[in-house]
Amino acid sequence: MSNLIKKALFTGIGLALKTKDEVEDLAEELVKKGEMSEKEGKKFLDELQERYEDAQNKLEERVEKTVKKLLKKADLVTADELKGLKKEIRELKKAVSEKE
């Protein structure tokens, strides 16, 4: 199941990167043809980069939420939960040794 999810996510990310590259190529072509000034082309690419980064951040957040849901459903412990348990065990050991 996790391999299928990974493949789907990588496919989506690959498509996003491919689309970004194609749009950048289109902007450069429009500048070369004179249909867009160099200043307009730069502005367009800057806006594209900003939107791309925003979309990438949103995608990362969604992936993180999805992975957390899957881990919870699979009843697996996260690294943070494990660290918390280890800390709690250390504190309990310390309390027990102090009482002895």
Read off the tokens for 17: 């990167």
Q: What is the pTM of this model?
A: 0.46
Please give the Cα distance from 67 to 71 (Å, whole number). Answer: 6
**pLDDT at residue 57, as a whole number:** 81
C-alpha angle with apex 80: 77 to 85, nearest 5 degrees? Answer: 75
Every domain of the chain and the residues it spans = 2-99
CA distances from 98 to 62, 66, 92 (A): 46, 43, 10
**Contact present, 27 and 44 (Cβ < 8 Å):** yes
pLDDT < 70 positions in the chain = 1-21, 23, 26-27, 30, 35-36
**pLDDT at residue 16, as a whole number:** 65
The separation between the first and the last C-alpha atoms of the chain, rounded to the nearest angstrom, is 49
Residue type present at position 58: K
